[in-house]
Amino acid sequence: MALEPRNCPVIDNNLRLTLRVQVRITRTAKRLGIKTIAIYSEADAASQHVRDADEAVLLPGSNATAYTDEAAVLRIAKERGAQAIIPGYGFLSENAHFARLVGDAGLIWVGPSSDAIDAFGVKHTARDLAEKAHVPIVPGTKGLVENEEVAAKEAERIGFPVMLKATGGGGGTSYSINRM
């Protein structure tokens, strides 16, 4: 299904770090004649994506939870006649359940499929899939590291410095560089 200029994608700026991306999406959509709707928390009320959008809707709830309220995002999309949801980065963009809900609601999910989100949401599984697809990857372990002793042996095998990463979540914020 193609987007038509009379329909409105919902532009979801869910992290301040992605603001520039959301602004670019909004401006590109406008150049294509697609009406845009920004959703925002109180903390983001003065953000550029809110000012640039054709329409802006304040999300209910606290600043900490507003962007993860699946029901509110879907309700706003339906009430405003949106045709698609562009989730941005983080939060709902990494939520396979929400991606499925968007499709079930008859809206276009502009992002990876729920199956891809499931597969790539766990770091060691994503690494295995990349390796099987012959995507170049940095040296690392096969699967999970069970304990500190195994981690130390693997670090010696790989060579320092190494980075330790939690297998799930973190959004890149939980890296730790080790130069032992």
How much is the pLDDT for 81?
A: 93
How much is the pLDDT for 7?
A: 45
Q: Are 9 and 28 contacting, i.e. CB atoms less than 8 angstroms apart? A: no
Q: What share of the chain is helix, strand, coil (3-state, %, to 5)?
A: 45, 15, 40
Q: Which residues of the chain have pLDDT under 70?
A: 1-19, 90, 167-180
How much is the pLDDT for 170?
A: 53
CA angle 141, 147, 152 (to 5 degrees): 60
Tokens 């809206």 sit on residue: 107
Each residue's pLDDT tens digit, 40-65: 899 989 988 899 999 999 999 998 88
Cα–Cα dist 172/16, whole Å? 15
How much is the pLDDT for 172?
A: 53
Nearest to 41 by CA among 16, 54, 59, 18: 59
How much is the pLDDT for 54?
A: 93
How much is the pLDDT for 51?
A: 92
Q: Mutual orientation of helices 70-79 and 96-104 as an angle, nearest 10°? A: 30
How much is the pLDDT for 179?
A: 65
Q: Which domains does the chain have, with CATH numbers?
A: 8-117 (3.40.50.20), 121-178 (3.30.1490)
